[in-house]
A and B are shown apart, each in its own frame.
Chain A
Amino acid sequence: MSRAAFTLALGIAVAAPVASQAQSMAGSMQGSMAGMDMNGMTMPHPAKKPTARRPVARKPVPHSAPKRRVVRSGPTSVGRAGPATAKGMDDMNDMPGMAMAPASVVPPSPAPAGPEPMPGMDMGAPGAAATPAMPGMDMSGHAKPMATMPGMAMTGTALAAGDAPAPPPPTDHYADRQFPASEMDRARHAMMHEQGGRSFAQVMFNLAEAQIRNGENGYRWDGEGWFGGDIDRLTIKSEGEGVFREGVEAAEVQALYSHAIGPYFNLQAGVRHDFRPSPTRTYATVGFEGLAPYWFEVAGALFLSDTGDVLGRLEGYYDQRITQRLILQPRIELNLSAQDVPAVRLGAGLTDAELGLRLRYEISRQFAPYLGMSYEAKTGRTADFARADGRKPSSTSLVAGVRFWF
């Protein structure tokens, strides 16, 4: 800020206790001027203390400065001040060092210029001396020119900061001088670990449901658990499906190291093992998971199998809150393959798509039963494999399940 601006600011600051709060302060300052009881303040130092005079000479300014605004606040506030003063009088009796003066002393119009320390009060000391005896009270109707009040605004927090260099951080710990270093060490490590270094864990199943469709009713799950800190985590994922009385059709587990790479996304790498279908496969995995703009939860991964096949997956869902607890979740999962893998009945390209719409009710955040629809379709050459196996390449299910975490 330039010096000129500062001077300006100074002027403003001098003109009022709080230039920017005229409305709020004006009322209360009126109150304080008129009757001290309004403010709940008594004199910090009774005027009878001789020492109280000393500051007068040193700093006459601060006390007079704010008064200007009070004076300015006009007839309306003075009008209010009258009765307040009268009322204030009753409470003054027990105030040390003050004698009551008749209420008529209160100026009937905006306060006059000159030292009028406290309308309605005789301080038992000359006004000019009494004012400083009440530092900060600033109740008198001073109207001295600002020029005669140096110091007030150009001191303390009104001053600009210098540009001295910062000291180097110390290498020791001060408390080690007063307590055994080993005890401090233990406490320090505990404290540092506690403030930001904790590990957490969560297991969440977004899908855990029964699927009702023509002929073969089945089930489906998709869950994830993690353990770790803010940045680095061990993540276990599992998803799969099966048919009642026929057993598990597909089941996979991934064990991943997860690393936060931004405010919203984690990079994940590890292994995936498919227990079903047979023959089982193991894949090296790299992927991402996170929150995309517009609040879409998204994840994607590439899988390289132990037989050299490359697969891919993209999934995403969106939680549409209908009410605070009723939530509609559209969800999509796409699986891809870079090549035909006849052994596990996959064709090159998009192998299958799963579109779901689930409506859940959060009885608690951790437990939310849901109902919904799920459409699954094998596509392209994968669909051909399915037909060749005598299975329908697509199906639509009614689903019922529970989304839960712990």
Chain B
Amino acid sequence: MDYVIDRRQLLRGAGAAGGGFALAAWLPAWAQSVSPGLTAPLPVVSGEDITLRIARQTMMIDGRPSRAIGINGTVPAPLIRLREGQNVRLHVVNDLDEDSSIHWHGLLVPPQFDGVPGVSFPGIRPRSTFLYEFPIRQSGTYWYHSHSGMQEQLGHYGPIVIDPAGVDPVRSDREHVIVLSDHSPMSPDAIFRAMKVNPGNFNFQRQTLAGLLSGRDQTLKDRMNWGRMRMDPADISDATGAAYTYLVNGHGPHDNWTALFTPGQRVRLRVINASSMTTFNVRIPGLRLTIVQADGQNVMPVEVDEFQIGVAETYDAIVTPADDRAYTLVGEAIDRSGMARATLAPRAGMAAEVPHLRKRPLTTMKDMGMDMAGMPGTAGMAVPGAGDMAPRGIDPTAEQNRSATLATGAAAGPGMSAGTGMDHAGMAGMKTGAGTPGDGMAGAAQMDMGSMKMRDFAAAPQVTKGPGVQTISPMPVDRTGEPGQGLEDVDHKVLVYRDLMALTPNPDVRAPSRSIDIHLTGNMERFMWSFDGVKMSDAMEPIAFIEGERVRVNLINDTMMGHPIHIHGHFFELVIGHGDHAPRKHTVIVAPGSKVTWDFTADAVGDWAFHCHLLYHMMAGMMRTVSVRTKEGTA
């Protein structure tokens, strides 16, 4: 295989010169332990005729070369900038030795241009060109990526920004695209295989005896209960910082990619999670983030301090840095095994304090779909007498990746977080109760074992019983009003889905004519993932819809992991109590053990992919075809 030199390396020099900072910038990247900052902007392509060339290359991450697949010589692929109402012809040249494809994530396109091999088209053969051609019917922040094999993991992803035909209701003086991603020196095949053959392979933040003896993480009683269930509460992410370096616009945390601003400017950040496996918690200490768009759809402004972004989601945030100082943008992996880091600064070459990685969360009984608060007779369960309320830290031997060395904050050591007590299993599940002593939870866990079965198929009759289904949530609850996993106890405002409200009324406000349940199922010990217990490879039977039909879809997560679920060709409206101002999304995280409901109008005739956007979950089978046919077509 031959690798092309990354074009960004050249751009880097230019960008550095343009940014006007010191001579250090002229040193080769490998000569710098920590870069003073890179202001290299993403290359942009636009117009009605665009050529995209997919090829293998190397990319430099924190001064180290890494294999990649890029487009037009860059990772991420160039920013495609379009205008609502235009037509676009995209000539995609596949210079790989294998099939490739591009899916335009979030764009409403005719089915033959949706870019999913085997569903919407045959794929792009090696050394051939495919012409995508479609009208641009929307505006907002989107992205594009390969839907072939695991090319996405290697860098085959890029941002799309579509400017509205009229005045943009979101006003800003300047904008930056922030593409978050995860990159590994391991091949995607090796990552997948490691997770398949060795559960927990990448988790170096598990509970240990050392942790137990030093009073960290779960108590012995809780550990026994979870052990009996064969559930690892530390299993937050499958692939972690042990495998990944987390990137901002293709740059590692030590590269310190820098976005410039002038103090007082209103800066629009278009944040895209183009990761294969990583949910990020995004924040900029010192700045409030006003969320104005989610998944390309404008929302009523919501001011937050932090938001969790699932794989394939996008959020646009406005920040107004008033001071002449640098700010750190932190994209912390959900399991806190590492972070993506960038800097917002008035000038290149600046850096702000980098906060410590907070301690990784533990899953709770609620994450198993056992909502104690919701259980009859236990809602007010007081658990008197149990005293242990002291917050317990994380395992003292837990490991994070190299990004942890960047931390300069004065906060407590990485083992202790600012938040308190979130290690108590069941903390989230006990919110209605006054106090939640850890011992009490252990008791509750025991009670669960007695009264609630973890794998009772009566609770999900449609799920095919088999080795691929480890658990069934006995009492899944709607958690769209809760902060994402691990953010329950932070001491600032975290975006929750229910904060999102569409800026304009929804286009289709009819009542759904029917509703369906889809169970998200899996087995962490075998790394099997599926819908309703059926893997994509098991059956081709699509989930069928009639054109124009409005249907309510209940996604029920029977696993202890969050899954970002994405439907192609459509937007859906989250059913979270906002009537005709429901936020419209293309991807939604279904929190562990929870239920998410959305309505959608099946208005795009064709076959569409529907899948978990965690790459290896999809590769393990968590995908299905959705078919939309005209009424006559199904007769």
Contacts and interface: CB of A to CB of B under 8 A. Distances in A.
Are A and B associated in one complex? yes
Interface of A: 9-10, 12-13, 17-21, 23-25, 27-29, 31-32, 36-46, 59, 62, 66, 91, 95-96, 135-138, 151-170, 173-175, 178-180, 183-184, 186-198, 200, 202, 230-231, 260-264, 291, 293-295, 320-325, 365, 405
A28 B292 CA distance: 11
Interface string B187-205: 0000001101110010011
Contacts of B545: 167
Nearest to B305: A24
Given A18-B498, A136-B300, A191-B536, 5 more contacts: A156-B578, A188-B119, A197-B535, A202-B197, A202-B198
Scoring B228, B499, B622 by chain A CB atoms within 10 A of each residue's CB, the highest score goes to: B499
Given A44-B166, A95-B171, A175-B111, A324 B577 contact: no
B302 to A, nearest CB: 5
A382 B171 CA distance: 86
Nearest to B493: A24
B149 A194 contact: yes
Interface string B391-405: 000010111000000
22 contacts: A28-B302, A28-B303, A42-B171, A44-B166, A44-B504, A62-B580, A62-B581, A156-B579, A157-B582, A168-B634, A170-B629, A175-B112, A175-B121, A190-B118, A192-B118, A192-B540, A193-B537, A195-B537, A197-B621, A263-B525, A321-B209, A324-B206
Contact of A32 (B121, B301, B511, B546): B301
A392 to B, nearest CB: 35
A167 B546 contact: yes
A187 B411 CA distance: 53
B229 interface: yes
A23 B198 CA distance: 44
B198 A96 contact: no
A162 B599 CA distance: 12
Interface in B556-587: 573-582
B430 interface: no
Interface string B481-512: 10000000000010110110111111011111
A11 B302 CA distance: 22
Interface in B96-126: 99, 111-112, 116-123
A152 B318 contact: no
B467 interface: yes
B369 to A, nearest CB: 16
Contacts of A320: 209
B169 interface: yes
A194 B206 CA distance: 30
Interface in B110-152: 111-112, 116-123, 149
Interface residues of B, number: 125
B580 A293 contact: no
Nearest to B501: A17
B44 interface: no
B290 A175 contact: no
Contact of B290 (A40, A62, A166): A40
A176 to B, nearest CB: 9
A52 to B, nearest CB: 11
A62 B470 CA distance: 44
Contacts of A322: 208-210
B201 A365 contact: yes
Contacts of B629: 167, 170, 174
B623 interface: yes
Contacts of B18: none
Give the 8 A-B residue pairs with the shortest CB-CB distance, closest first. Answer: A196-B621, A191-B118, A39-B301, A40-B318, A197-B537, A196-B535, A156-B580, A159-B511
B436 to A, nearest CB: 21
B499 A195 contact: no
B386 interface: no
Nearest to B524: A263
B374 interface: no
Interface string B512-546: 11111000000101101110000111101111111
Contact of B516 (A37, A166, A173, A183): A166
Contacts of A264: 230, 525
B526 A230 contact: yes
A24 B528 contact: no
B526 to A, nearest CB: 6
Contacts of A18: 498-499, 501, 577-578
A327 B116 CA distance: 44
A23 B495 CA distance: 11
Contact of B481 (A20, A27, A173, A294): A20
Given A183-B122, A187-B122, A156 B573 contact: yes
A38 B301 contact: yes
A41 B118 contact: no
B236 interface: no
Most A C-beta atoms less than 10 A away, residue of B197, B508, B510: B197
Contacts of B538: 196
B581 A136 contact: yes
Nearest to A156: B580
Nearest to A321: B208
B301 A44 contact: no
Nearest to A199: B196
A9 B575 CA distance: 13
A64 to B, nearest CB: 13
Contacts of A45: 166-167
A76 B496 CA distance: 24
Nearest to A186: B122
A20 B499 CA distance: 9
B469 interface: yes
Interface in B11-35: none
A40 B573 contact: no
A96 B167 contact: yes
B500 to A, nearest CB: 9
B118 A324 contact: no
Contacts of B111: 174-175, 178
Nearest to A36: B171
Given A170-B629, A186-B122, A46 B227 contact: no
Nearest to B101: A187
A295 B232 CA distance: 10
B397 to A, nearest CB: 4
Contact of A263 (B117, B467, B516): B467
B194 A196 contact: no
Contact of A156 (B122, B493, B509): B509
B552 interface: yes
B505 A157 contact: no
Given A24-B302, A38-B301, A195-B621, A170 B542 contact: yes
B165 to A, nearest CB: 11
A200 B194 contact: no
Contacts of A41: 169-171, 292, 301, 503
